[in-house]
Structure formats: C-alpha cells, structure tokens
Amino acid sequence: MALPQTWLQPRYRKNTYLFIYYLIQFCGHSWILTNMTARFFSFGKDSVVDTFYAIGLVMRFCQSISLLELLHIYVGIESDHLLPRFLQLTERIIILFVVITSQEEVQEKYVVCVLFIFWNLLDMVRYTYSMLSVIGISYTILTWLSQTLWMPIYPLCVLAEAFAIYQSLPYFESFGTYSTKLPFDLSIYFPYVLKIYLMMLFIGMYFTYSHLYSERRDVLRVFPTQKKKM
C-alpha cells in the first residue's frame, strides 16, 4: 500500500516525530503529577517522604529523554536557542541524577517533592503547548500560560534546586561520594564542586530568565497578529 504523498514530505515526518515525542513527555509528566496528587490525598504527609521511591523512575526517564531536545535544536527540527535549553536541561540532570539519586538521605527530603511539583507544572504546560503547536492548534489561554507560568515558578525551581544541593552537602562530605584522589597528590573534593556549581546555578538562572522573557515578549507580540489572520 502506497503512503500518502504528504507523509513522504520531510516536514510531515518531522512534525509526526515531534508530536509523538511531546505526547510521550506529556503523558509521563501527567502521570507523575496525578500520582503525586492521589498519593497525597490518600496518605497525607507520609506520601511526601517517599515521593522519589514512588515516581523517581518515571521522572528519570522523562528527564533523560529530554536530552533529545538538544539534538532537535542542533539538527534544526526544533527552533530554539541551544545554550538556554542546555542550561535548563543540565541543571535538572545534575540535581536529579547527581544530587538526589546518589544520596538516599536526600531522596526523603520534602524539597524533592516540591521540586518535582514545580518541574511537572512547567513541563505539562510546555509540552501541551508544543504538542498542539506542531499540528497547528493554538489557544490564547494556553499560549499565554506557557509563556507566563515560568515567570514565578522557574525562580522557585532554582531556589529549590539550590536548597537540595545545600541539604546534600553533609552527606557528600560524610560518605565521600564522587570525591577522588588524583596523581601527584591532587584530589577532587566533590562538596567544593557542588558549592561552585551552586553559584553558577544563579548565574545560569539570570541568563535563562532573560532569554525566556525575551522569547515571551516576541511570542505574545506575534500571537495576536497570527490570530487575526486565521
């Protein structure tokens, strides 16, 4: 059976791939947020402590495949700036895999639950907006929300990430995780690395916030014009 002519065009193959990718991310983050909400109403505060054990695997899957977005931008199938997206993704990967996953004591902290809520709120809106945009569907409220929700939540995310690093420092100091000795009497003391990264986190936040604000201004300026032409 011959494929439709439109399917053979690269633009349609690209849009189909992006739609499936955004759909997978949306389903993953929706499941996480729904699971967290249901567990909280069922078990109350006790559900907060074992948030990571309940949903950590799905969260790690979603954040791992999000690295594909760097490839999307690099090869040109997704239009965005590479460096801001790189900063956003790497800060999550470092916090999730290096800080939280490596220290069981940190996994039980309330900050992990708060951080997961913030991440999922942002991603559910962003991936819903991106998924619908790929197939040419746009809603004013969703466009505004995707370009505005990050303004209060993203700084709170960075504060929660910084607090997670702060709470993890005693455990990295006690267990010596990732600290190693090098030849010629040199060594890497990982708590120092985290303290340096803590400062870089806020520098990166300023850069990312400026980029997102500029992008918001451009999108909301163009959107009313596009709506009139429809």
| Residue 73, pLDDT score | 93
- pLDDT of 166 reads 95
* Integer CA distances (angstroms), 59 to 38, 48, 54, 128, in order: 17, 15, 10, 17
Query: According to the model, what pLDDT value does residue 228 have?
Result: 45
Segments of the chain scoring below 70 in pLDDT: 1-10, 223-230
In this prediction, residue 12 carries a pLDDT of 80
Note the pLDDT of residue 1. 47
pLDDT value of residue 4: 56
Contacts (Cβ under 8 Å, ≥6 apart) of 135: 15, 19
**Dihedral through CA 174, CA 159, CA 149, CA 21, nearest 10?**
-30
Distance between CA atoms of residues 31 and 19, nearest Å: 18
Active site (catalytic) residues? 154, 161
CA distance 101 to 198: 18
Q: Look up residue 99 and give its two tokens.
A: 């800080």
Q: pTM for the full model?
A: 0.87
Q: How far apart are CA 118 and CA 153, in angstroms?
A: 7
